Structure 1
Amino acid sequence: MLNMAMVVITATLVIFLMCSSSSEAILQKRLQLPSPLTGPESLAFDLTGGGPYVGSSDGRIFKYIGQDEGFIEYASTSRNRDKTLCDGLADFSELQATCGRPLGLGFNQQTGDLYVADAYFGLVKVAPGGENVTHIFGSENAYATRFTDGLDVDPETGIVYFTEASTNFRFKDFETLIDSEDKSGSLLKYDPSTDQTTVLLGNLAMPSGVAVSSDGSFVLVGEYLANRIQRVWLKGPNAFSSELFMPLAGSPNNIKRNSRDQFWISVNGIFRSPIFQRNINFPTGVKVSENRIILQIVSLISEYGTESASEIQDYNGTLYSGSLQASYATIFTTLL
């Protein structure tokens, strides 16, 4: 029965992604990063609802203040950042290994600490105010992480779940990794109460997005190269086991839980165009329930064209998105 359900889910996604049945996201506002920066790959909001906070291609994290002020610099993941060397870097530069590249972001809702999955520095914690930066897990701590990617924070316990996309490739080798069959990625857990990091699931095909359930009973992790979402049980009779949560008609990137315990998944479906005789990307947002029910699919083609979307999330009833290629984050007219 489960296999048949998975077939139905996959078929449904293919139909929605390729036809006009999915709703189209309608642009409301673009939140422009300071020029020439790009890549607000993930978005986060602080304890008071401030933000969004986004990472950028030159290693800095910015906070959106408002329409007049726009984004202001909040922090950087490099503790000894050289502004002359780093400011204005483009993505996939060799210098990002020195300047940092923040990807996944998430706040501890109890302490106000901002946790960052930095592609080169690993798991990083930024104290409230953006001044104090701690490298928790990564190269500076003698760990061999090479490409840290997605992140989520349990709102009750403060436990951080994050992904290492690969131990064989670095962020600068992104295109090579995409074309590989690499399965060296992992889902990890960091417990700030014990300062311990453990591996929850290994042998993953470029794990990207991650999201923990509101009750902390399970965590979802997407495998970009395997076109699927896996669920790792943390509590209950299935604790410490994993299962296929959902196959997808495309590559999943970030996953974000909303206030109704639903999950938004950024999916980039690659289809062969018989007209243009080439592969075309269709960026979409897919909202699913904890029970694997597809609740909504939103096309992002009007905003990103055939470029990839890295994240879509519903925060306080407003739909936001981010992209590794874009120079802005986006707010959409409410479609929820």
Structure 2
Amino acid sequence: MFQPCSPISIPTATTSTEKRMQSRLQLPSPLTGPESLAFDSSGAGPYTGVSDGRIFKYVGAESGGFVEFAYTTPNRNKTICDGIADFSTVQATCGRPLGIGFSKQTGELYIADAYHGLVKVPPNGGPAIQLVQAVQGHHFQFLDALDVDPTTGIVYFTEASSRFQFKDVETLLTSGDNSGSLLSYDPRTRETRVLMRGLAVAAGVAVSRDSSFVLVSEYMASRIQRFWLRGPRENRSEIFMQFVVGSRPDNIKRNSAGEFWISVNTPLGPPSPPRTPYLPLGVRVNEGALTLQVVTLAQVYGNEPASEVQEVNGALYTGSLFATYASNLSR
């Protein structure tokens, strides 16, 4: 049985640097914030949600780069929503897709929209279908991360906070809030379950390869928890990894070997409002929480935080809430 270890100190940029070739996958201007990435069953993509509520698909630089694929509001007003300069004023109306993931069974794209709840998009794109906006009488305030079990089709997603919305994220990160949750949605039964409560900004989620557990990151608690879905500890949780205080684990992505890539941002000095400088890292761990690899993303984002790292065919694809591009890091 895995036993939680002492807080993990992530190596510095000097000891974690791995040289890779970088390609920037530029979003159409003025769009920002490719927070999470997904690839469909044919390997096409990446797909990503952006600041004006749309989902874009990368079709290659020679074919135009990112092209519109879907949107999370069924009655989207393109005049109001598409590509405006100040997204903060319209995101509650136009949507803000964050966590995304494809169903292997149906080819549908599931999306955790910060304002509109859990939605899905048909394989050929277009307007999203609303699935879940509330659970047990509580209307979601800020959905964030998402993963789809490739075997069962069950969708695991997080509510970062039940008290603050996405537009209030700067306040949320200084509030000491621990009202986040881990949830699941079964498309076959349409049942939504609350698996964990009391999470300090539930920012990332990933299910294990054998569907026996799911990991959830707590951004402000500097840790990752494991919730057991079956086995002797079914429906119980434990600390999977504890990082040093101040480190911010964000999205978690499973690779083809059943390992996990975690986006971890370590502070460079004391907090410095309005935005603390970070060393963005990709950390690869196994199911026993053993650190296998650390890759610095400073070459991609400088001192800005990264939100996601995932491995596809040996390349690392990264996203950031603050960037105008996704990135492909190949060997």
Scaled by the length of structure 1, the TM-score of the pair is 0.92
Counterparts of residues 1-336 of structure 1 (less than 5 Å): 6-7=5-6, 10-11=8-9, 13=10, 16=11, 18=12, 20-24=14-18, 26-68=20-62, 69-89=64-84, 93-138=88-133, 143-249=138-244, 250-272=247-269, 279-334=276-331
Aligned AA for 1:167? S
Deviation of the 1:139 alpha carbon = 5.9
Q: Does the 8 Å CA contact 1:25/1:332 hold for their aligned counterparts?
A: no
Q: Does the 8 Å CA contact 1:57/1:89 hold for their aligned counterparts?
A: no
Deviation of the 1:89 alpha carbon = 3.8
Aligned AA for 1:145? F
Scaled by the length of structure 2, the TM-score of the pair is 0.94
Describe the superposition over 1:272-294 as per-residue Cα deviations: whole angstroms up to 9, x where unpaired.
169xxx95311111000001100
Q: Does the 8 Å CA contact 1:145/1:164 hold for their aligned counterparts?
A: yes
Describe the superposition over 1:41-61 as per-residue Cα deviations: whole angstroms up to 9, x where unpaired.
000000111110011000000
Are residues 76 and 132 of structure 1, via their aligned partners in 2, closer, same or farther at CA, if it must alter by over 3 Å?
closer
Deviation of the 1:96 alpha carbon = 0.2
Are residues 273 and 165 of structure 1, via their aligned partners in 2, closer, same or farther at CA, if it must alter by over 3 Å?
closer
Are residues 120 and 279 of structure 1, via their aligned partners in 2, closer, same or farther at CA, if it must alter by over 3 Å?
closer
Deviation of the 1:181 alpha carbon = 0.3
State which drifts further: 264-273 or 41-50. Answer: 264-273
State how many pairs are aligned.
325
CA distance in 1, matches of 2:317, 2:61: 16
Deviation of the 1:210 alpha carbon = 0.1
Are residues 239 and 39 of structure 1, via their aligned partners in 2, closer, same or farther at CA, if it must alter by over 3 Å?
same
Unaligned runs of 5+ in 2: none
CA RMSD of the aligned region, Å? 2.1
Q: Does the 8 Å CA contact 1:92/1:172 hold for their aligned counterparts?
A: no
Aligned AA for 2:267? I
Q: Does the 8 Å CA contact 2:52/2:96 hold for their aligned counterparts?
A: yes
Are residues 212 and 325 of structure 1, via their aligned partners in 2, closer, same or farther at CA, if it must alter by over 3 Å?
same
Are residues 192 and 60 of structure 1, via their aligned partners in 2, closer, same or farther at CA, if it must alter by over 3 Å?
same
Q: Does the 8 Å CA contact 1:135/1:141 hold for their aligned counterparts?
A: no
Deviation of the 1:144 alpha carbon = 1.0
Deviation of the 1:92 alpha carbon = 5.8
CA distance in 2, matches of 1:140, 1:134: 17
Aligned AA for 1:6? C
Q: Does the 8 Å CA contact 1:65/1:71 hold for their aligned counterparts?
A: yes
CA distance in 2, matches of 1:303, 1:253: 17
Q: Does the 8 Å CA contact 2:108/2:122 hold for their aligned counterparts?
A: yes
CA distance in 2, matches of 1:25, 1:121: 40
Deviation of the 1:224 alpha carbon = 0.4
Are residues 158 and 282 of structure 1, via their aligned partners in 2, closer, same or farther at CA, if it must alter by over 3 Å?
same
Are residues 239 and 88 of structure 1, via their aligned partners in 2, closer, same or farther at CA, if it must alter by over 3 Å?
same
Are residues 217 and 35 of structure 1, via their aligned partners in 2, closer, same or farther at CA, if it must alter by over 3 Å?
same
Deviation of the 1:141 alpha carbon = 11
Are residues 142 and 2 of structure 1, via their aligned partners in 2, closer, same or farther at CA, if it must alter by over 3 Å?
closer
Are residues 19 and 33 of structure 1, via their aligned partners in 2, closer, same or farther at CA, if it must alter by over 3 Å?
closer
Q: Does the 8 Å CA contact 1:58/1:90 hold for their aligned counterparts?
A: no
Deviation of the 1:19 alpha carbon = 5.0
CA distance in 1, matches of 2:68, 2:77: 15
Deviation of the 1:302 alpha carbon = 1.5
Is the partner of 1:10 in helix, strand or coil? Answer: coil
CA distance in 1, matches of 2:39, 2:136: 28
